[in-house]
Amino acid sequence: MNIVVLAGGNSTEREVSISSGQGVCQALRERNHKAILVDAYFGKESMDGELFSEKYDTEQAAAWMRKQSNNLEEVMKTRQEFFGPHVLEICQKADIVFLALHGANGEDGKVQSVLDLMGIKYTGCGPLSSGMAMDKGITKMVFEAKGVPTPKGMTLEKGECSSYLSDYGMDFPVIVKPCCGGSSVGVCIAHNQQEYGAALMEAFSYENQVVVEQFITGREFSVAVVDGKAYPVIEIAPLEGFYDYKNKYSAGSCVETCPADLPASLTKEMQMYAEKGYEALNLQAYARLDFLMEEDGSMYCLEANTLPGMTPTSLIPQEASVIGMNYPQLCEKLIEVSLKKYQ
């Protein structure tokens, strides 16, 4: 297949996206697909030459994308459009686009809407479900309505909310996070009023809506759901703090165990809630749902990630390896289940 791996973009998760895209592109080429890596935001300077060539240097393409990152802020000051030169033209020539974008403008349904309007096939969820899952406030409301356990919380608007937690009937500690951010960027734990004020300021520096929810002390888990079926549960145990941006992307900062060391009954329960959350948000193809579990076994679904990290060592590849699927096979599997949307 001729495949465009679309990565980069202009979100706070650009660098993670490039790593995902590089890994996916290389893996698909190992499976004899003609995959190329395209930067959604910076595009390609010309359409000269053969696009889907047998001879293609994925590392060189990723290095070029990382170099462009140095100019990202300057370009964003003067350019309004998201897609770079020739991006959509190139995508139209592919059999499918593998979305390796993360965060705003990639994971929130905007790119998916454009691709749908242009008749371009792509991996992952559609626009509506992507947008719902990206918004942690909406996700929380849907989970509560559909019986998926989630921490008590609320959505606050910048300039229209009280800075005192007691006004909302909640107690410390709480976790404060941007409503539509990813990779735990801007997420803070507040144990008292002073920390809460600082956490609100930090979260509101990213977005005009933030989610405040009861902080759950417990073990952290994640469950991939592929084509509606839950994969093995993985536990993430940060050596320090919680699973924030630093711990997610710093080598050796977490111990990841898959399958998680849990009684069979709790494993099945968590997988059941992962599938239920996937269904509640009307997700398609694949997603990853994150959980916290207290000592007594009470579990809470925090959010759904519709374009989760896809580096070779990311969580979903680890879960897939437990059921005998290597990384290149997983990349192919995600294309296979995504194509069902178009049947």
Tokens at residue 286, please?
Answer: 């694949």
Relative to beta strand 286-293, strand 188-190 is unpaired
Distance (Å, whole) CA 95 – CA 97: 7
Q: Measure Cα distances from 318 to 15, 210, 252 in Å.
A: 21, 31, 15
* Backbone torsion region of residue 102, taken as left when φ is above 0, otherwise alpha when ψ lies between -120 and 50, otherwise beta: beta
Q: What is the largest CA-CA distance in the chain?
A: 63
Tell me the β-bridge partners of 189.
175
Tokens at residue 66, please?
Answer: 């990382």
Residues marked active site are found at: 13, 183, 249, 288, 290, 303, 305, 309
Q: What are phi and psi of 301, to 5 degrees?
A: -90, 125
Q: What are phi and psi of 92, to 5 degrees?
A: -65, -25
Q: What are phi and psi of 121, to 5 degrees?
A: -75, 145
Q: Residue 252: how many CB atoms within 10 A of its CB?
A: 6
Cα torsion for 320, 108, 28, 13, to the nearest 10°?
A: -90
Q: Residue 211: how many CB atoms within 10 A of its CB?
A: 28
Contact between 328 and 31 (Cβ < 8 Å): yes
Tell me the β-bridge partners of 188.
176
Q: Residue 49: how many CB atoms within 10 A of its CB?
A: 6
The full length of the chain comes to 343
Contact between 316 and 288 (Cβ < 8 Å): yes
- Which one-letter amino acid corresponds to residue 270? M
